[in-house]
């Protein structure tokens, strides 16, 4: 009898484990499906951002779309995704006349509206985000008035330079939310495609502490995600009493503010990492939005 009781108990334990395992597997599969759906929607939005100036936009993807292409460098649009009840803020990649801010990669302190530790990309922060953040804030308030008291989610996304600006924008909005300037916001998230590095290691820590759900997505051996290099030489302006030099050499440390997710051809990525020159310079073709879209659609 005791042996039979033991076998019955073991059978019940195994049965419960199997049922729990099946439920967990189903939940994991559902999460992957939901994750892929979010990434695909965000990538479609990024491609729409490039087509905004041409007037070839997929109008079925978003409602109440507002375009802001007046600024010479930071161009974006804001749209409402009805299916998920999410407000999308989508930044375009570098326009023809917006390359100046990209190469202004000197690190500066974040002393705009909030004091944040660490150092940040001067071109993206001072020349681009500072020029458009008030416009974004006003648009969010307009959507809040339309929604009434119902909370909603915000997803900030972009490709290339737009990916870098999306990281800074999400962090800025999260800071606004933490001090009560943004209400009825359920969640602020960021999906960044092929961004350049935007901050120092200390700045990356501040971003992580903000608790923003973030996906940084890199396709294959994309070149743009490698710059500025982790350790970049530069010049800093300093005044010393006994020296006439105005600029002194310095080393700038750069880091992505979140973990980078690699997509694309696995064998190709491994091969590129084995070849030192290819790993250093990257493949410009992997940076194209069309190639990102192909890799995203192959996600499981």
Residues 201-232 pLDDT 10s: 999 999 999 999 999 999 988 889 888 988 88
DSSP-based helix, strand, coil % in the chain, nearest 5: 45, 25, 30
Residue 104's pLDDT is what? 87
**Residue 106 falls within a domain, yes or no?**
yes
Burial of 165 (0-12, 13-18, 19+ CB in 10 A): buried
At 84 the three-state DSSP class reads: coil
* 18 phi, psi to nearest 5 deg: -65, -45
Look at residue 1 in the predicted model and tell me its pLDDT: 54
Q: Which domain holds residue 138?
A: 41-227+254-297
Q: Convert the pLDDT of each residue in 153-169 to its tens digit.
A: 999 999 999 999 999 99
Residue 52 confidence (pLDDT) above 80: no
Instruction: Note whether residue 7 is domain-resident.
Output: no
Flag whether 173 is in a domain: yes
Domain assignment present for 95? yes
Cβ distance 75 to 50 under 8 Å?
Answer: no
Nearest to 140 by CA among 108, 172, 173, 171: 173
Residue range 257-272, pLDDT digits in tens: 999 998 886 555 556 5
Residue 197: predicted pLDDT: 95
Interaxial angle between packed helices 130-147 and 161-178, expressed in degrees from 0 to 180 and rounded to the nearest 10: 60
Q: Domain tally for the chain?
A: 1
Q: Tell me what pLDDT residue 22 has.
A: 43
Output the pLDDT for position 264. 81
- Mean of per-residue pLDDT scores for the chain: 83
Q: Is residue 30 part of a domain?
A: no
Does residue 36 lie within any of the structural domains?
no
Angle, CA 202 vertex, CA 106 and CA 211 arms, to 5°: 120
* Residue 2 belongs to a domain: no
Is 238 within the bounds of a domain? no
What is the distance between the alpha carbons of residues 103 and 65, in angstroms, rounded to a whole number?
A: 31
CATH code at 77?
Answer: 3.40.50.1820
pLDDT, average across residues 234-260: 75
Dist CA 98 CA 118 (whole Å): 25
């Amino acid at each position: 009898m005791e042996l039979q009781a033991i076998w019955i108990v073991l059978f019940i334990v195994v049965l419960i484990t199997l049922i729990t395992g099946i439920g967990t597997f189903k939940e994991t599969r559902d999460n992957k499906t939901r994750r892929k759906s979010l990434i695909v929607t965000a990538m479609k939005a990024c491609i729409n951002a490039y087509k905004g100036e041409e007037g070839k936009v997929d109008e079925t993807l978003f409602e109440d779309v507002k375009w802001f292409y007046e600024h010479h460098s930071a161009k974006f649009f804001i749209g409402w995704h009805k299916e998920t009840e999410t407000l999308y803020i989508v930044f375009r990649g570098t326009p023809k006349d917006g390359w100046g801010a990209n190469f202004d990669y000197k690190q500066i302190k974040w002393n705009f509206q909030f004091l944040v530790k660490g150092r940040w990309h001067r071109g993206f922060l001072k020349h681009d985000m500072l020029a458009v953040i008030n416009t974004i804030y006003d648009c969010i308030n307009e959507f809040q008035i339309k929604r009434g008291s119902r909370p909603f989610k915000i997803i900030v996304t972009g490709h290339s330079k737009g990916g870098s600006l999306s990281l800074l924008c999400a962090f800025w909005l999260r800071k606004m939310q933490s001090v009560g300037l943004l209400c009825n916001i359920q969640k602020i998230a960021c999906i960044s495609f092929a961004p350049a590095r935007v901050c120092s290691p200390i700045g990356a820590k501040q971003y992580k502490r903000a608790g923003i759900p973030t996906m940084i997505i890199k396709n294959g051996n994309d070149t743009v995600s490698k710059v500025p290099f982790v350790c970049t030489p530069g010049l800093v302006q300093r005044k010393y009493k006994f020296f006439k030099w105005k600029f002194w050499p310095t080393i700038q440390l750069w880091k992505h503010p979140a973990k980078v997710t690699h997509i694309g051809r696995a064998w190709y990525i491994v091969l590129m990492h084995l070849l030192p020159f290819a790993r250093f310079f990257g493949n410009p073709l992997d940076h194209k939005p069309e190639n990102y879209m192909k890799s995203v659609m192959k996600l499981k």
